[in-house]
């Protein structure tokens, strides 16, 4: 894992504190070239890893990276799936069958048959593999060392106590893509207990980590205790609590927890990317 990772919320109008700012960002990055301009800045500053959802427009970013291998020789994607809004919107617009056709990874007929058989047999593992393979299609030929399960599914599985699916996801990512599975959660302590019970050793877990407990189910003390005592590799997100904590203060807190492996942050200007990178490197 790289120490510093760039995230993608800013590109797709996601801001947990301000709808107005989210709308402004969505308008600013309405064209892929604007996204690439920011990725170019980050890359030239030495940030090589882009952690992204499987939003429809990520395919355009993948095409841009794929088209210039000499420009981006060591660019890494960390896909995060599924992008739930994509499926919900498609089902609302096209119906369930239309949505399935839209996201078919091979021939439509084969996919429909496989999906139908999976549903009839209650083969949720086969359906999971189908969806993962669909989500991974835009990244073909690109470096994807880690593939993350989004918190919307991770935490649903936690609530259902569906331990076997964590193992099945990790196995499929390793066997099919020669990559490592990561897990995003809003409940770090409980997820660690579950992954331990699954036999997943030293997992890579992304969760909100900040000094005010923003999006940290269980509270700051439980997270600090987990980071200090549990065996896992923490990737910290929401470190600025969506702008509620000044950058230097926020990063001093996160970098002060020496077991945190990596930090992912969203930024849309060279000044903010440079400032964040320099702070993390200075704070250790």
HSE-up of 104 (CA within 13 Å, CB side)? 17
Range scoring the smallest mean pLDDT among 61-65, 85-89, 240-244, 264-268: 85-89
Reply yes or no on whether the pLDDT at 166 is more than 60.
yes
DSSP letters for 32-76: HHHHHHHHHHHHHTT--EEEEE--TTHHHHHHHHHT-TTTSTT-E
For position 1, what pLDDT does the model report? 87
User: What pLDDT shows up at residue 22?
Assistant: 60
> Which carries the bigger pLDDT value, residue 251 or residue 120?
251
What is the dihedral sign for C-alpha 249, 1, 137, 150?
Answer: negative
Tally of domains in the chain:
1
User: Given this model, what pLDDT does residue 125 score?
Assistant: 87
Contacts of residue 135, defined as CB under 8 A and 6 or more positions apart, other chains included, come to 54, 79, 81, 82, 83
Q: Which two tokens stand for residue 250?
A: 């926020």
Per the model's pLDDT, the better-predicted residue between 78 and 27 turns out to be: 78
- Among residues 159, 170, 84, 96, which one has the least CA distance to residue 129? 170
Looking at residue 56, what is its pLDDT?
86
pLDDT tens for residues 45-54?
999 999 999 9
Structure confidence at residue 109 as a pLDDT band (50, 70, 90): very low
> Where does the pLDDT of residue 148 fall: very low under 50, low under 70, confident under 90, or very high at 90 and above?
very high
Q: What is the pLDDT of residues 220-273, one digit of tens each?
A: 999 999 999 999 999 999 999 989 999 999 999 999 999 999 999 999 999 999
104 or 172: which carries more pLDDT confidence?
A: 172
pLDDT for the residue 107: 46
Q: Distance (Å, rounded) from C-alpha 274 to C-alpha 21? A: 21
- The CA distance from 46 to 32, in Å, is 21
Instruction: Identify the domain containing residue 103 by its residue range.
Output: 4-283
Per-residue pLDDT, 98: 58
Supply the pLDDT for residue 71: 98
Residue 194: pLDDT over 70: yes
Domain of 186, CATH number, reads 3.20.20.100
* Range of lowest pLDDT (71-80, 112-121, 129-138): 112-121
DSSP 217: T
Q: Look at residue 216 in the predicted model and tell me its pLDDT.
A: 97
pLDDT band for position 27 (50/70/90)? confident
The reported pLDDT for the residue numbered 157 is 96
**pLDDT band, residue 152 (cuts 50/70/90):** very high
Q: How many CB atoms lie within 10 A of CB 163?
A: 16
- Kindly report each contact of residues 135-141 with a partner whose C-beta sits within 8 Å and lies 24 or more positions away, as own/partner: 135/54, 135/79, 135/81, 135/82, 135/83, 136/79, 136/81, 136/177, 137/105, 138/54, 138/58, 138/59, 138/62, 139/62, 139/77, 139/79, 141/66
Average pLDDT over residues 75-94: 74
């Amino acid at each position: 894992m790289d120490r510093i990772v760039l995230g993608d919320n800013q590109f797709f109008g996601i801001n947990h504190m301000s709808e107005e700012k989210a709308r402004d960002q969505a308008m600013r990055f309405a064209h892929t070239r604007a996204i690439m301009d920011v990725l170019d800045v980050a890359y030239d500053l030495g940030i090589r890893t882009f952690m992204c959802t499987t939003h429809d427009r990520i395919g355009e970013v993948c095409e841009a990276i794929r088209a210039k291998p000499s420009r981006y020789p060591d660019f890494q994607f960390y896909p995060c799936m599924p992008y739930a809004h994509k499926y919900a919107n498609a089902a609302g617009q096209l119906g369930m069958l239309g949505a399935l056709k839209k996201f078919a990874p091979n021939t439509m007929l084969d996919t429909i048959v496989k999906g139908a058989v999976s549903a009839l047999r209650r083969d949720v593992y086969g359906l999971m593999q189908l969806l993962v393979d669909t989500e991974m299609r835009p990244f073909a030929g690109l470096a994807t060392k880690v593939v993350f399960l989004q918190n919307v599914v991770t935490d649903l599985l936690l609530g259902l106590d569906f331990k076997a699916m964590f193992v099945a996801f990790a196995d499929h990512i390793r066997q099919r893509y020669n990559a490592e599975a990561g897990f995003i959660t809003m409940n770090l302590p409980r997820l660690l207990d579950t992954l331990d019970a699954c036999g997943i050793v030293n997992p890579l877990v992304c969760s909100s980590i900040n000094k005010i407990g923003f999006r940290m189910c269980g509270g700051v003390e439980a997270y600090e205790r987990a980071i200090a005592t549990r065996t896992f590799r923490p990737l910290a997100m929401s470190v600025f609590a969506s702008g509620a904590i000044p950058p230097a203060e926020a990063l001093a807190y996160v970098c002060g927890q020496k077991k945190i492996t990596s930090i992912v942050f969203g930024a849309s200007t060279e000044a903010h990317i440079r400032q964040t990178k320099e702070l993390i490197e200075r704070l250790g």
